[in-house]
Amino acid sequence: MEINLKDIHTPSDIKGFSTEQLHLLSGELRAALMRKLAAHGGHVGPNLGVVEATVALHYVFDAPSDKIVYDVSHQSYVHKMLTGRIDAFIDPAHYDDVTGYTCPRESEYDLFEVGHTSTSIALATGLAKARDLRGGKENVVAFIGDASLGGGMALEALNYAPELKSNIIIILNDNQMSIAENHGELYSHLSELRRTNGTAADNIFRALGYEYIYVDNGNDLRSLIHAFRAAKGQDRAVLVHINTMKGMGLPCAEAHKEQFHYNGPFDMKTGADTCISTAESYDDMFVQSMLRHMRADKNVVALTAGTPGAFGWSPEMRKAAGEQFIDTGITEQDCVTMAAGLARGGARPVMGVVSTFLQRAYDQLSHDIAINNLPATFVIFHTGIYGLNDMTHLGFFDISMVSNIPGIRYLAPASAEEYLAMIDQTVGSPSTPTVIRTPGGPVRHRDTPVDTDFDRYEIVERGSEVALIAEGPFLAIAEETAALLRARGITPTVINPRILSSVDTVCLDTLKDYRHVITIEDGIIDGGFGQKVAAYLGCSPVRVTCLGLKKEFLDRYSVDEVLAANGLTPAQIAEIA
C-alpha cells in the first residue's frame, strides 16, 4: 500500500482512508515537509508537530463547509498540503507558490490572512455567530498553540466564546513552547493537566464553561480522531487539549526547539544552517550595548514580548542578563505597560519589539507610557522596506503610528554610531518616553562625530537650491542622489533628520528660499515625517515633495521593485529634483 501525495487534491481524498493509510499519509507528509524545510527554511517545529493533528482535523471535519481557523497560521503547512497545494511542498520549482500563512487568495480552505498571534478564537466566535444568525449548522474550529493562548485577545475570546451557547471547538495545541520558552503561570497549569492526564483540579477551561477533552499523545492519529469526533457537532463550547511534540520526527528540531521554531535552510542530519550570515548586525550591537548598561546599573531591564530571538537575545545572552531580562510571553500590551510600571518604580526599562507587533500595544504606548511621561525606551526592529515582507508582518507603518502620539520622541538613526549613541543617551540618562527605530538593511558606519542633540536635524552636506531630507537607511539613497545631482551641477543640501516625531523648525526655516525640498522616508508617506515637513513649509514658496512608500499592504515583495515603483531610486529622485 502506497500513498502518493500528488493524489491528494482535497480533504475528501482522505475521507475513506483506513487508520493505516492515514499513518502512511502522515509519514509521507512529514518527510516531504522536512525536505522542503531543509532546502527552503520556514517554521520547522510548529509544522512538524502538527502533522497528525492536521490530518485528523481534515479527516474528521468537513472543510471548507466546516470552518477551521489557524492561530498565527504559521503551522498551516500541512493544511495547505491537504487542500490542493501539494506542489508547493514537493516540487522545488513551486516552493514559493504559497505564503507561509493561511491566505484566502490561495484557497477557499483558508479563511483569513493571519500572522499575528491570539486572533483565532475571536475570529471563530464571529464565524459561529454569523452561522447562528443565518441558521447554519457547520462546525467552527479554532486551532491555537499554547503560547498564543497567553495573549490577551485569545483570553478575552476564550472567556467570551462559551456565552454563544452554540458550536465552537478550540483545539489547544500544547507543544510546551512559545517561540522561546513559555512565560506565565498558565503554563504551570497546562503542565499539571498533562501530568495528570487532564484530570488536575482547578481546571481553568472547565471553570470558564468548556467541555474539556484531553489527548495525551497529540501525535497519535487514533486518539486525535476519537477526540475530534467527540467534539464535532456539539452545540456548546468544547476545548480539546492535545499534547504534541514540537519538531517531531526531525532530531535537530526536537532537540533545539527555539532555534527550529523558524529556521533558514539547514542540513537535515546535523541541523547546521546552510546559509550562515557573518555580517555584523544591529541586533548584536543592541544586545551588547544593553549588557554593558546592565552591568553598569542593575536597574536597567531589557524586556521582550515573546520574541527575544528576533533581535539578538539568544538563550546565552538572556542568561548573561539574568534577572535584568524579562520575557512576558507574546503579550505586547502587558509588556509595554509593565515597562511603565518599571519606569515609575525607578528602573530603566528597554523593550525590544518587532515593528509589526508594536501595533498591538498602541494604546499602552499612548495611555500608559506617553500620558504618564515615563522614561521608558522602546527599540523597534525589522523596520521599513528591508524588514519582514509577509503581508501580515510589514514594518513600514510604525512611523505614522508612533510619531503622532503626543509626548513620544521617535528617533531614527542612520548609522551604527548614531544608533548606539541614541541608546546610550536614552538608557543612560532617561528623561522622556523614547522610541528608537533600528535601521533596516545592512549596518552602515559613518565616521563623523555624532551630534547627540537628536531633536535637531543634522546637515550632512551643505548645498543650496535643493534639499534632500532622508531618514534612516534612506540617507544612503539621498547621498547617492546628491552625487548624481552634483554631476549635473546642482549641489543639494543633504539632511539626516534623526527625529521623526517633530520637525526642526530652525533647520527648515533655512530652506524656505530653496527651490525644492524632498523628504525621503522608509515608511508610508501618509502620517509620516515628510508630511509634517510639507505642512510646516506649506506657506513658503519652496516646493515640497514627500517620497516614501504608498499606503498599501504588500506581500513578499522585491525591495528593488518597490523602491522603483515608489520613485525612490537615486536616479528617479535626481530626475524630479
User: What are the residue numbers of the active site?
Assistant: 246, 332, 360
- The helix (run of H) or strand (run of E) holding residue 157 is helix 152-160
- The helix (run of H) or strand (run of E) holding residue 252 is helix 251-255
Q: Of 357, 358, 356, 379, nearest to 286 (Cα)?
A: 379
Ranges within 157-186 binding its own copies (CB under 8 A): 157, 159-160, 162-163, 183-186
Q: How far is the CB of 400 from its own copies (least distance, A)?
A: 4
Q: How far apart are CA 565 and CA 556, in angstroms?
A: 15
Stretch that binds its own copies, among 76-84, 90-98, 268-276, 355-363 (CB under 8 A): 355-363
389 lines the binding site for its own copies (CB under 8 A): no
Are 66 and 72 spatial neighbours (Cβ–Cβ below 8 Å)?
no
Q: How far apart are CA 527 and CA 532, in angstroms?
A: 8
428 lines the binding site for its own copies (CB under 8 A): no
Among 254, 476, 526, 567, binds its own copies (CB under 8 A): 526
Q: How far is the CB of 18 from its own copies (least distance, A)?
A: 34
User: 64: cis peptide before it, omega within 30°?
Assistant: yes
Stretch that binds its own copies, among 49-57, 265-273, 448-456, 546-554 (CB under 8 A): 546-554
Among 16, 346, 449, 489, binds its own copies (CB under 8 A): 346
524 lines the binding site for its own copies (CB under 8 A): yes
DSSP calls for 526-574: TTSHHHHHHHHTTTSSSEEEEEEE-SS---S--HHHHHHHTT-SHHHHH
Q: How far is the CB of 223 from its own copies (least distance, A)?
A: 24
> Residue 61 or residue 419: which is nearer to its own copies going by CB?
61
Q: How far is the CB of 135 from its own copies (least distance, A)?
A: 9
505 lines the binding site for its own copies (CB under 8 A): no
Ranges within 190-219 binding its own copies (CB under 8 A): 201-204, 206-209
> Residue 405 or residue 436: which is nearer to its own copies going by CB?
405
Q: Which three cell numbers stand for residue 208?
A: 470558564
> Residue 408 or residue 423: which is nearer to its own copies going by CB?
408
Are 358 and 380 spatial neighbours (Cβ–Cβ below 8 Å)?
yes
360 lines the binding site for its own copies (CB under 8 A): yes
33 lines the binding site for its own copies (CB under 8 A): no
Q: How far is the CB of 415 from its own copies (least distance, A)?
A: 27
Among 276, 277, 319, 553, binds its own copies (CB under 8 A): 553
Q: How far apart are CA 402 and CA 412, in angstroms?
A: 12
> Residue 57 or residue 343: which is nearer to its own copies going by CB?
343
Ranges within 55-74 binding its own copies (CB under 8 A): 67, 69
Residues 107-126, one symbol each (x = binds its own copies by CB under 8 A, - = not), give ----xxxxxx--x--xxxxx
The site that binds its own copies (CB under 8 A) totals a number of residues, namely 113
344 lines the binding site for its own copies (CB under 8 A): yes
466 lines the binding site for its own copies (CB under 8 A): no
473 lines the binding site for its own copies (CB under 8 A): no
Q: Of 305, 300, 297, nearest to 343 (Cα)?
A: 300
295 lines the binding site for its own copies (CB under 8 A): no
Q: How far apart are CA 310 and CA 358, in angstroms?
A: 13
Please tell me what DSSP assigns to residue 66.
Answer: S
Q: Of 573, 576, 575, 383, nearest to 479 (Cα)?
A: 573
- Counts for the chain of helices (H) and strands (E), in that order: 24, 16
83 lines the binding site for its own copies (CB under 8 A): no
Q: How far apart are CA 58 and CA 16, in angstroms?
A: 12
Q: Of 288, 292, 312, 290, nearest to 301 (Cα)?
A: 290
Q: How far is the CB of 200 from its own copies (least distance, A)?
A: 8
Are 352 and 303 spatial neighbours (Cβ–Cβ below 8 Å)?
yes
Residues 400-419, one symbol each (x = binds its own copies by CB under 8 A, - = not), give xx-xxxxx------------
Q: How far is the CB of 533 from its own copies (least distance, A)?
A: 9
Are 573 and 547 spatial neighbours (Cβ–Cβ below 8 Å)?
yes
Ranges within 232-291 binding its own copies (CB under 8 A): none
Ranges within 365-384 binding its own copies (CB under 8 A): 366-368, 370-372
> Residue 535 or residue 564: which is nearer to its own copies going by CB?
535
C-beta atoms surrounding 286 within 10 Å: 23
Q: How far apart are CA 186 and CA 181, in angstroms?
A: 13
Q: Of 280, 290, 286, 348, nearest to 311 (Cα)?
A: 286
Q: How many residues does the chain have?
A: 577
315 lines the binding site for its own copies (CB under 8 A): no
